[in-house]
Amino acid sequence: MVSRRTLLAYIAALFAVCVAQVAAQSQAPVIESVNSPQASEDTLSNEPSLSSALASASVSPSPISFIASNNTTSTGAPASLNTSAGSVSSRLSAAKFIAGLFWSSQTTGMHRRCSATVISENLLVTSAACAQSQNPISKFGNGEWRIVAGTDDRFLDVPAASAVGNKVASINMSTCANFAAILLSEPLTLGKSIKPILLSNSPAFQTTTVVTYNTTDPAVDPLVILTPGTDEACELLFPGYSKKGFLCTLPVDKQTVTADYLGGDPIIGFVPQDGVAEPVLFGVTGLYYSTIAEAQAAQANDPTAYRYSPLVAQQVGKLASLGGLDAQKIATPATPI
C-alpha cells in the first residue's frame, strides 16, 4: 500500500514536470537503469514533448473502428477472453499478452508490482508510476525488476519460488506521459502461453467503449468497461490532456485510488479479424485526478475521480526504435471508419 505522501509527491512532481516541460521544451529523456536503483527517482527530469514524439513516429495515427467489446458473448467480453472462474480468473489466464512486473529483492524474494504488456520477446510496456523503483526498495529492500509471463504466477503478489522471471535490462520512462518501456536482457519465449499484442496507432476511439483489467485481485472477474469523459470536463481537470496523449475516462464502479493507484494495466479495444474480436492495445491505465487540489491532497478514495491513461499511439515510433522493431509490424494497420 502506497503512502499518501508518496502519491502526493508523485502527482505533484508529474504536474511540475509537465508544466516545466511546456515552458522549456527540454529534450533530455528520463532513463532509469535497473542496475542503479539508488538513483533518485524524485528528480524527475524533462523529456521530449509528446508532439515531437508523435512527429517522429513512423506510423501516422488514424482512427480505427473498435467493435463493441460486449457484443460477442452474453457475459460482456469477447469469447477470446474466457469467462469461467478459477483461483485466477480465466479471463486473466486467457489474456496471454499480460505479464507481471516484479521486484526481486535479495532479502525478501519476488513481489508483484504491476501488469506489464508484452509487445515483443524483449519489449513490454507499463505506466511510469509502476516502474519507479523507489517504493519497492523502501518496502522490500534492494533488488531488481523481473518480468514473469506465461503462467498464473504473473498475477500473484508472491509467485511460486520456481517463478524467477526474466531479467530486465533497462526501463525507459516518460514521466510526463506516465509511460514506461521495459527492455529485457532475457527474452520471453513467445508461443502458446505468451502472446504479444498489437499496438493501436489510433489516438481516439469513435464507436464504442474499451476495457481494462483490474488485476488487483486475480480471482475476481477483472474486466472493467471504460467510457471517455466529455472533452470539456476532462480539460478542466487536466488541461491539454488530449494533446499530451492521454485518454480521459469516467469514474467506474468500485474504483479506489488506493487499490489500483499505480495503473499499468492494459487498456484494450477489439478489432474484427476473420470473424473474431482481436484485442489490440490502446493504452495503459494511468492516474486518477479529481480536482488538482484533491489530487494534491492525495484523496485516498475518490469515487468521483476521472482517470487519465497514457495512450500507446504516440509511443509507437519510440517503442519500435527501443525494441529494434518495425513500427508497421507492431501496430495495427489503419482501418478508416
Ligand X SMILES: *[C@@H]1O[C@H](CO)[C@@H](O)[C@H](O)[C@H]1NC(C)=O
Number of chain residues interacting with ligand X (CB under 6 A): 29
Q: Is 325 in the site for ligand X (CB under 6 A)?
A: no
Among 39, 160, 259, 276, binds ligand X (CB under 6 A): 259
Q: Which of residues 83 and 105 has its CB atom nearest to ligand X in the complex? A: 83
Given the C-alpha cell 533518485, which residue does it identify? 40
Q: Is 19 in the site for ligand X (CB under 6 A)?
A: no
Grid coordinates representing 240 are: 491539454
Q: Is 65 in the site for ligand X (CB under 6 A)?
A: no
Q: Look at residues 126, 130, 96, 98 and name the one whose alpha carbon lies nearest to residue 113.
A: 130
Q: Which of residues 10 and 179 has its CB atom nearest to ligand X in the complex? A: 179
Among 22, 160, 220, 300, binds ligand X (CB under 6 A): 220
Q: Is 254 in the site for ligand X (CB under 6 A)?
A: yes
- DSSP class of residue 331? B
Beta bridge partners of 173: 30, 180
Report how far residue 209's alpha carbon sits from residue 50's, in angstroms, rounded to the nearest whole number.
24
Q: Which of residues 90 and 105 has its CB atom nearest to ligand X in the complex? A: 90
> What is the amino acid identity at position 187?
P
Task: Return the residues of window 36-55 that contact ligand X according to CB under 6 A.
Answer: 48
DSSP string computed for 240-303: TTTTTTEEEE---TT--TTTSTT---EEEEEEEETTEEEEEEEEE--EEES-HHHHHTT-S--T
Between vectors from CA 158 to CA 157 and to CA 159, what angle results, nearest 5°? Answer: 115
Q: Is 134 in the site for ligand X (CB under 6 A)?
A: no
- Least distance from ligand X to the Cβ atom of residue 237, Å: 18
Q: Is 242 in the site for ligand X (CB under 6 A)?
A: no
Q: Is 295 in the site for ligand X (CB under 6 A)?
A: no
Given the C-alpha cell 500500500, which residue does it identify? 1
Among 117, 175, 214, 249, binds ligand X (CB under 6 A): 214
| Backbone torsion region of residue 58, taken as left when φ is above 0, otherwise alpha when ψ lies between -120 and 50, otherwise beta | alpha
User: Which residues of the chain form contacts with ligand X (CB under 6 A)?
Assistant: 29, 31, 48, 67-68, 70-71, 82, 84, 86, 90, 93-94, 170, 172, 208, 214, 216-217, 220, 224, 252, 254-256, 259-260, 318, 322
